[in-house]
Amino acid sequence: MEIIDLSLPIDEKAFEVHKVDIERVTHQAGVEKFNRVIMGKTLLGKIKYALGQRIVKKEQLPDEEFLSLEIVHAPVHVGTHLDYSFHYGSQSENRASKTADEIPLEYCYQPGVKLDLRHKKPNEVINQQDIRESLEKIKYQLAPLDIVLLHTGADKLYGQAKYFSDYPGVDPSTIEYLLGKGIKIFGVDTMGIDRPYRFMLSEFLKTKDPKTFYPAHFFGRKKEFIHIERLANLEQLPDFGFKVLCFPIRIKNTGAAWARVVALLD
């Protein structure tokens, strides 16, 4: 079995719209942090620490090293992740929206199909007809629970400002079509399922038409769906004949959750 990684990292050095910070405590600094945390639990301990006392000294440790520690401060929408209905609005299908920790796990390990949509340009949308034509081209019929991966090639821009401005969006009619076929999860290799906000915002300010602003996301208030954002390496996949594994990290009460998405090929 071959495993293909379809995920992007959480990287504080990559260009991001939202702030990402990873505090990295080294092996050498770890013992000092340990003392500060443990001794800081009591007033007496804080005083002793401030006076230079330590309960564990580096000289007492193998190689004078403690344990490393990384503390990640990042939105759940950075890195490859799954979005669920709470992200789209407080209600979906006239009931309280579900959070990412409620995503049914049986949906997250299913056969995958890749649709080549690399001809779609920034500011264009992937519509229902595009999906039908892509399926006809590879002679594939969707089955309920298939995980549909939309390949635009935009992941190659990751780390650059263009990653956030040069990719096609997904039309709500496409989502409705996929849901009608029994699809529970679809994924994109773009940073979002709507067109880049520079296009949407410009159109919205010009027309004042609410249908032009995040229509794909807001469709999740009408129909419940799950999607994966920020996929990568879809060019390494065949059109079908593989399985996708996309279990979300279990974080309470969030609209999205990070996932290490992989494809399994026999």
Q: What is the pLDDT of residues 226-256, one digit of tens each?
A: 999 999 999 999 999 999 999 999 999 999 9
Place of tokens 């000289």: 59
What pLDDT band is residue 123 in, cutting at 50, 70 and 90?
confident
Q: What is the mean pLDDT of residues 27-39?
A: 93
pLDDT over 90 (residue 204): no
H-helix segments, 51-107: 85-88
Q: What is the mean pLDDT of residues 187-193?
A: 97
Give the integer Cα–Cα distance in Å for 192 and 126: 13
Q: Report residue 176 as tokens.
A: 């409705």
Please state the domain extents for the chain.
2-15+75-265, 21-73
The CATH code for residues 2-15+75-265 is 3.50.30.50
Angle, helix 172-180 to helix 128-138, in steps of 10 degrees: 50
Using alpha carbons, list the distances in angstroms from residue 182 to 33, 204, 263.
Answer: 51, 32, 20
Place of tokens 């770890």: 30
pLDDT at site 200: 84
pTM: 0.91
Q: What is the pLDDT of residues 125-150, one digit of tens each?
A: 999 999 999 999 999 999 999 999 99
Percent of residues, the chain, with pLDDT higher than 90: 92
pLDDT at site 87: 97
> Torsion-angle region of residue 87: left (phi > 0), alpha (psi -120 to 50) or beta?
alpha
- Report the half-sphere exposure of 114 (CA within 13 A, side-chain side): 22
Q: What is the pLDDT of residues 57-100, one digit of tens each?
A: 999 999 999 999 999 999 999 999 999 999 999 999 999 999 99
Using alpha carbons, list the distances in angstroms from residue 92 to 124, 138, 145, 194, 219.
Answer: 26, 33, 20, 18, 9
**Mean pLDDT, the chain, whole residue set:** 95
Q: Do residues 264 and 226 make contact, with C-beta atoms less than 8 angstroms apart? A: no
Which of 155, 150, 162, 260 lies closest to 216, judged by CA? 150
pLDDT over 90 (residue 210): no
pLDDT at site 206: 86
Give the integer Cα–Cα distance in Å for 63 and 209: 64
Q: Do residues 195 and 168 make contact, with C-beta atoms less than 8 angstroms apart? A: yes
